[in-house]
Amino acid sequence: MAANSRLTTAVHALAWMALAGRRGREVMTSEEIAASLATNPVIVRRSLGELRAAGLVASRRGAGWSLTREPEAISVLDVHEALGAEPLFALHPSTPNLECPVGQGIRPVLTEVYAAADAAVRRELADRTIADVLARTLASQETT
Amino acid sequence: MAANSRLTTAVHALAWMALAGRRGREVMTSEEIAASLATNPVIVRRSLGELRAAGLVASRRGAGWSLTREPEAISVLDVHEALGAEPLFALHPSTPNLECPVGQGIRPVLTEVYAAADAAVRRELADRTIADVLARTLASQETT
DNA sequence: CAAACTTGTAACAAGAAATGTTACGATCGG
DNA sequence: CCGATCGTAACATTTCTTGTTACAAGTTTG
């Protein structure tokens, strides 16, 4: 259970809110969203709370949650970054031996490699929006 | 301490073995490698054990570890895959509500998005070899 | 052959992160 | 005012990573 499903939770919640909004329900409760995700409302509040800090959604106590932008204007990268986007790979847990030529010089090299991998992920996520995800989700069901 | 530094450990170990090999020391002990990483020899044996299963290194009890390929022929992607390359993002921890249109159709869509991100990372890692990493590591020190 | 060395692996501990749950104060809508 | 809902803390559980000790199995060397 240690894998990162936070992006899945957040994108699913936003897609569901976008669909509801299109149907005229602009405000949803964390309980309604949790029902679609089959999880606890607190999980939703925590997740959407991070998105609110990034300006993607808004909430009001006693009321509920709403999108602050059109679904076309929210990329999956926006969501990823709102969630805190941890680096894919980490450097050494403890400083390597600086007496060793490799230990002394490898960290900037790996940092660059990891940054390139990170940038590649971002490029992919930047290309897709919540509207795209929703459209493709619904399209797969018309076919069925 | 939960971030993934396994790739760092393995690439560092291989680069160090490549440098030693170039100096005429083709076989190294886990203790020597651990000294460069500033960690425990068992960590090295576990890490290199996974690389051995992928055919990147060889070992003999009582003897030590050696590369099975030229450093030019080992990409960082090879190492990443040898370590078990977990997906970057996971789908829902528990099956979403299939009564909901989003819950029903979103999983294949997200699977595709995550696969694209994964492929992008692989493309970046495939471009760099242990020889590259070692060369750049040593180059940074000549400058200093 | 015998002694010293090294791998292979199990067992365990500590720490971190994700998920899920309960609880309850704060705030909004009617 | 009252019920609904958010905001958040506290806690349990699970899983992963790193690190450590221990020891059997095999290799090397004298």
Q: How confident is the model at residue B144 (pLDDT cuts 50, 70, 90)?
A: low
Check CB contact of A143 with chain B, cutoff 8 Å: no
Count the neighbouring beta carbons within 10 Å of the beta carbon of residue B120. 20
B57 forms bridges with which residues in the sheet?
Answer: B67
Q: What's the pLDDT at A85?
A: 83
Buried b (16+ CB within 10 A) or exposed e, A31-40: ebbbbbbebe
Q: What's the pLDDT at A14?
A: 98
Domain A6-143, what fold? Answer: Arc Repressor Mutant, subunit A (1.10.10)
Residue B51: its H or E element: helix B41-53
**Residues with Cβ within 8 Å of residue B18, at least 6 apart in sequence:** B67, B71, B130, B131, B134
Whether the per-residue pLDDT at B10 is higher than 70: the answer is yes
Q: What's the pLDDT at A86?
A: 86
Model pLDDT for residues A71-96, shown as the tens digit of each residue: 999 999 999 999 998 899 999 999 99
Q: What's the pLDDT at A142?
A: 74
CATH classification of B6-87+129-143 is 3.40.50.300, yes or no? no
Whether the per-residue pLDDT at A51 is higher than 80: the answer is yes
Q: How confident is the model at residue B20 (pLDDT cuts 50, 70, 90)?
A: very high
Would you list the domain boundaries of chain A? 6-143
**Closest to B118 (Cα-Cα) out of B94, B92, B84, B88:** B88
Nearest nt by C1' to A94 Cα:
D18
Smallest Cα distance from B113 to chain A, Å: 7
CA dihedral of residues B3, B6, B12, B16 (deg, nearest 10): 150
Q: How confident is the model at residue A5 (pLDDT cuts 50, 70, 90)?
A: very high
> In B 93-132, which Cβ lie closer than 7 Å to strand D?
none
**Is the Cβ–Cβ distance between B129 and B74 less than 8 Å?**
yes
Smallest Cα distance from A101 to chain B, Å: 7
Q: What's the pLDDT at B141?
A: 82
Check CB contact of A92 with chain B, cutoff 8 Å: yes
- Structure tokens belonging to residue A138: 């619904």
Q: What's the pLDDT at B1?
A: 55
Model pLDDT for residues B43-97, shown as the tens digit of each residue: 999 999 999 999 999 999 999 999 999 999 999 999 999 999 889 999 999 999 9
- Three-class SS of residue A28? strand
Whether the per-residue pLDDT at A2 is higher than 70: the answer is no
Buried b (16+ CB within 10 A) or exposed e, A95-109: ebbeebbbbbbbbeb
Q: What's the pLDDT at A143?
A: 59
Q: How confident is the model at residue A3 (pLDDT cuts 50, 70, 90)?
A: confident
Task: Give B22 or B86, the one with higher predicted confidence.
Answer: B22
Whether the per-residue pLDDT at B2 is higher than 90: the answer is no
β B64-67/A64-67 pair status: unpaired
Distance from C-alpha of B16 to C-alpha of B124, rounded to nearest angstrom: 22
Check CB contact of B31 with chain A, cutoff 8 Å: no
Nearest nt by C1' to B65 Cα:
C7
Kindly state the average pLDDT of the residues A14-26.
97
- Give percent of chain B above pLDDT 70: 97
Count the neighbouring beta carbons within 10 Å of the beta carbon of residue A15. 29
Q: How confident is the model at residue B129 (pLDDT cuts 50, 70, 90)?
A: very high
Tell me the torsion sign for CA atoms A115, A120, A126, A131.
negative
Distance from C-alpha of B69 to C-alpha of A108, rounded to nearest angstrom: 25
